[in-house]
Chain A
Amino acid sequence: MYMTVEFWGQEFKVNIILGCIGGFLIAVASSMFGFGGGPFMVPLMTVGLGLPMYVVVGSSLLAIFFNTLMGTMRHYQFGNFDLLFFLIMFPAAILAGFIAPQIAKRVSPLIVKRVAVVGLLLLALNLLGVY
């Protein structure tokens, strides 16, 4: 089934079944483990659905927002939410949103991504008990 998506006068045909199945799986994993699904959603929509980046940035955020909202409600319902812990982390996350753009002007995104690859691999190997 294909859905026609209109964006600033351009029309795109999107395989919506693939998008929904992919989105569903990402949502289960992300709400189960408590991370945002952005880095998986963007490749799904650009590579999987063949949409250009400028269509994806906003719409993927909207799709993820639904997941975060539902995941938050459900975690709260199951008693997994610790208010004090939230009040510690929330200001830090907001503050980071102001600091990051200041740093972003000075460092190359390529270097940040390379550091991230190494860091993520090290963390992953640690979690898998390799070292």
Chain B
Amino acid sequence: MKRTWLSLIIALTATIFMMYQNGAFAQKPTETKAEPVKSEAKQDAKKDAKPEEKKAEEAKPAEAQSITIEIDKTSLNNGGSINVKGMAPAGKPVYLEVWAEPKVRASRFDAEIDKETGKRPYIFYITEEMPAYYKIFTPKDKKEAYEQNKKEGAKWSVSKALKDTGADVAYSVPAKIKIDRYQATLMGSVIGSRGELLTQMDEKENRRRSMQLTKARFRNIDKVLSPDVEVNPDGSYKATIKIREGLAPGKYFIVAVSDKNVKTKPITFENNISFPTMYLSNAGTSLNVMWPFLLVLGIATFGVLMGAGGGFIINPLLVSIWPLPHTVVAGTVMPTVLFSQGSGILNYSRIKFINWKLGCTIGAAMLLGGFIGPKLTEMITLEQFKFVFGWILIILAALMFWQTTPGYIEKNKREQAILKEFQKRAKESVAKKEN
């Protein structure tokens, strides 16, 4: 009996998954249609970009304006400070654009009402090319504009902050990343697809959307902007660039920018990390691996004791303590319980403590839920993740409290006695069979 149920479920899963992988659910024709357009757009962008670069180079000597940059160190050990100095045309501002070579993913689901059309666009933006570190250092006299934007808290906007501080002249690297966008539909969400792949955006739109993704990735204004460059009236400038701990290892670039045509070539430095600090490439964060190990060990032990998996406590702690994306946390914590669940099932099945019919029937419904859930993770922001998680924990706390009430304990005692009796009987019958 149990074999029939199990094989049925496995066959069903495999079929659905294969169908999904083959793209039976995806709107394939439109996707393939979008493909050539995309590459064309890319070529166009390249063509457009090249002459502009040349122009910029030509413009420099003509105006006889130039900017220089010098750094005092070329390598850091898991963060540190670098002193930057140089010479810019007198009376001009100096912005330092700093970014890391390693790339990470950033995504954003746009469900806010469009001011022009009054409709919700439901478009999912995703890029794999966001620099793991990105920051623009602005002149110190822009501090007021920076503080003004900082006051808006979580609602701050990258484009407004860049405009207010004048840093939009320096904003160039994320503007050029390749962003995919998908038109999400209700039906698409139900079958678990990201939706229809839309055509590539033009340069201006790409720049605008990249700013929203920059915010989605770096969250806070102080991660993206910093009014730290001291510019003297004669044009000399200096700044101390602080690279904090826990950033991606590898090459970093700095470009000094005065205006659209006056900028230096990128100057590089290296950020090194050594064990026990390791870089989580998917999360874009380096961390001392001992801390998450000890945290998980402690919480998981407590989780087993209280009879609830540790995931309830580990996930919110991980996203709060380290700058880890909630998608990576959810996607990585989930497989860790797979093996303990599997061994638990094995143990229960040995003493015939599993009703396969009941487990597989409800399991089929849960299979469907597990198919949809992971896609919803990437459609919500970290704030929404925390908010919903907060309420889930309150419900869990209520359930836990209910389990400490006298009525429940009394009932539980009786049930536990029966459970033990059944377990004893089960073990005996298994032993008998083996003899």
Contact = CB atoms under 8 A, between A and B. Distances in A.
B102 interface: no
Interface in A36-95: 36-40, 43, 45, 52-55, 57-86, 88-95
**Max chain B Cβ within 10 angstroms of own Cβ: one of A61, A85, A86, A110:** A85
Given A55-B355, A71-B334, A112-B305, A96 B310 contact: yes
A96 B367 contact: no
B418 A54 contact: yes
A88 B293 contact: yes
A74 B370 contact: yes
A117 B370 contact: no
B292 A85 contact: yes
A35 B311 contact: yes
B308 A27 contact: no
A38 B355 contact: no
B62 interface: no
Given A59-B354, A75-B331, A34 B370 contact: no
Given A39-B307, A70-B367, A81-B331, A31 B373 contact: yes
B328 interface: yes
**Max chain B Cβ within 10 angstroms of own Cβ: one of A57, A71, A107:** A71
Given A35-B311, A121-B394, A89 B293 contact: yes
Nearest to B398: A117
A88 B367 CA distance: 27
Nearest to B315: A34
Nearest to B372: A28
Q: Is the interface of B mostly helix, strand, loop or mixed?
A: helix
Nearest to A30: B373
A92 B300 contact: yes
A63 B335 contact: no
B280 A85 contact: yes
Nearest to B423: A54
A108 to B, nearest CB: 10
Contacts of B358: 3, 5, 14, 19, 55, 59, 63
B198 to A, nearest CB: 18
Contact of A93 (B328, B336, B354): B336
B367 A62 contact: no
Contacts of A61: 341, 344-345, 348, 354, 359
Interface stretch (B162-170, B172-180, B384-392): B384-392
B28 to A, nearest CB: 17
A52 B415 contact: yes
Contacts of A80: 282, 327-328, 330-332, 374, 377-378
A107 B305 contact: yes
10 contacts: A3-B358, A14-B358, A32-B373, A52-B415, A61-B354, A62-B345, A75-B327, A94-B340, A109-B306, A124-B397
Interface of A: 3, 5-8, 14, 16, 19-21, 23-40, 43, 45, 52-55, 57-86, 88-97, 99-101, 103-104, 107, 109-110, 112-117, 119-121, 123-129
Which 7 A-B pairs rank lowest in CB-CB distance, beginning with the nearest? A27-B369, A80-B331, A34-B330, A31-B373, A75-B331, A62-B359, A35-B311
